[in-house]
Amino acid sequence: MAYDAEDTKRRIFDAAAIEFAEHGLAGARVDRIAAAAKANKQALYLYYGSKEKLFAAILGAKLEEVGRCVTIDPDAVAESVGQIFDWYREHPELIRLVLWEALEGGGQPDAYERGLRDGFRAKAGVLVDGGVARHLPEGARLRAAQDLVFTIMSLVAWNFAVPRTCRAILDEETEQAAFARRRETVIDVARRLASPAEPRE
């Protein structure tokens, strides 16, 4: 059978995503990634350059994926937030990767982050065009919509970042019960946040 470079890259990527989500950048081991991918370490370095670059590639791909999937419909905020909640629940590795990056990474904004920023700015623009924050002066609407997007994503993501705390605070016996309760609450809060503010007297 001929060597399939793309398949090898994909297997390394998939195995590394699991390894990094479990152990972070510092704790991940190239030997374990190569073994899980059924590839040799040289292939990892050939295709990705280093463990650090591989981690960055995986995190970037996962954030691009959530950027594509996280869409808040200004006419159906509650439904959108429910879909986002379900997406995060189905992709728990993203939260772990982002938390590891926050603990071990950082640094100045790079070209990738600037591209991500542009994508989320466009999402906020859709909300503004849909009437979100229309009670504010025109110059403040985009910033308000950006705050709304980040707040909603935070309301959703924190449930999966600290599931034990979620279960304990809500006094639920199972994660399933806690998540179901939190899903309803997050949807309700998002609906309220997206509602036009009452005019002040």
pLDDT (tens digit per residue) in 25-41: 999 999 999 999 999 99
pLDDT, the chain, mean: 86
Mean pLDDT along residues 152-161: 89
Dihedral (Cα; 49, 55, 56, 59), 10-degree rounding: 150
Q: 162-172 pLDDT, tens per residue?
A: 888 888 899 98
Q: Tell whether the model's pLDDT for residue 2 goes beyond 70.
A: no
What pLDDT score does 142 carry?
94
CA distance between the termini of the chain: 76
Domains, the chain, with CATH or none: 1-58 (1.10.10.60), 70-194 (1.10.357.10)
Q: Any idea what DSSP says for residue 177?
A: H
Q: Which pair of tokens denotes residue 66?
A: 């959530």
The predicted pLDDT at position 103 comes to: 86
